[in-house]
């Protein structure tokens, strides 16, 4: 009996030692998948630039649905009122959704827009507040875990008007493009101010974040993500730069460096730190 208890105790100790290693391994795999997501988003931005000679815009405003011409072709550039998430659909195997009309596009989740550490693809069905209304009742919206730089309009994605490569005078390798957005994970069971309009939204904190404040990890509390970049990963969050390179950026990055990364033409040519 004593020997059996000893064996059981040893097995319990071994399991307690193995569990953190297993959890760490799973998070490493999820973080790697997240990096792949931001890499693909960056490639989509560049494919859009190759096709149109400018990068996707941030759209017009939160209450505009994706806009189409009379022949049901989605508008582009400054004519497209929806945001960058809608505009890159043709370059992330989302052609069918892109061409299906506003209501379908808004409500169709795409796995690429979600960080596997945080959640699976998610939608909310909320009151139709579009102008003009789409249904007059409710509209299902597909969410997004990634955001473009920046709210200050010094970055790669601006409100309404597109950015061209010639505007990036600091160099594409020194300029943030898209990264993970900070969220209140304690409120993921329902919509919150920065997680309610969805990936197609024009100029809204759902898909555009600030670089004048440091990124922070996800949290649980009364506030939302406060328009910040950040993630559910410990220690760092994933981002793709305007040259297509992917970086895991520490939450403790120097604020001045981060401000410069968000500004495509401030004249500050950075020697990038080890993030």
- Other Cβ atoms less than 10 A from the Cβ of 70: the count is 5
In a domain, 267, yes or no: no
In a domain, 42, yes or no: yes
In a domain, 14, yes or no: no
pTM score above 0.85: yes
Map residue 172 onto helix, strand or coil: helix
pLDDT at 78 over 70: yes
In a domain, 124, yes or no: yes
What pLDDT, in 10s, does the model give residues 169-198? 999 999 999 999 999 999 998 899 999 999
Average pLDDT, the chain: 92
What pLDDT, in 10s, does the model give residues 207-253? 999 999 999 999 999 999 999 999 999 999 999 999 999 999 999 99
In sequence order, the 6+-apart residues with CB closer than 8 A to the CB of 244 are: 39, 42, 43, 46, 172
What pLDDT, in 10s, does the model give residues 17-27? 554 544 556 77
Q: Which helix (H) or strand (E) holds 246?
A: strand 246-250
Find the domain containing 224 and state its range: 28-262
In a domain, 11, yes or no: no
**Count of domains for the chain:** 1
Q: What does the DSSP 8-state code read for residue 66? A: P
């Amino acid at each position: 009996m004593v020997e059996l208890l000893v064996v059981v105790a040893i097995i319990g100790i071994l399991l307690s030692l193995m569990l953190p290693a297993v959890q760490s391994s799973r998070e490493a795999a999820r973080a790697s998948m997240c990096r792949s997501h931001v890499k693909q988003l960056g490639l989509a931005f560049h494919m859009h630039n190759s096709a149109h000679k400018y990068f996707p815009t941030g759209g017009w405003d939160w209450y505009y649905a994706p806009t189409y011409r009379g022949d049901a072709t989605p508008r582009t550039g400054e004519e497209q009122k929806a945001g960058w998430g809608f505009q890159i659909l043709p370059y992330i195997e989302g052609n069918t959704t892109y061409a299906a009309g506003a209501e379908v596009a808004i409500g169709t989740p795409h796995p690429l827009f979600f960080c596997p550490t945080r959640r699976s693809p998610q939608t909310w069905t909320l009151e139709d507040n579009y102008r003009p209304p789409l249904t007059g009742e409710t509209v299902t919206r597909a969410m997004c875990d990634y955001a473009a730089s920046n709210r200050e309009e010094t970055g790669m994605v601006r409100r309404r008007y597109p950015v061209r490569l010639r505007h990036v005078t600091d160099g594409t390798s020194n300029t943030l493009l898209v990264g993970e957005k900070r969220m209140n994970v304690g409120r993921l069971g329902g919509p919150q101010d920065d997680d309610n309009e969805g990936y197609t939204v024009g100029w809204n904190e759902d898909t555009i974040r600030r670089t004048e404040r440091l990124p922070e990890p996800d949290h649980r509390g009364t506030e939302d993500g406060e328009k910040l970049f950040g993630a559910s990963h410990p220690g760092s969050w994933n981002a793709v730069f305007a040259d297509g390179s992917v970086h895991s950026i520490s939450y403790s990055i120097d604020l001045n460096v981060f401000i410069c990364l968000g500004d495509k033409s401030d004249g500050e040519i950075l020697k990038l730190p080890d993030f």
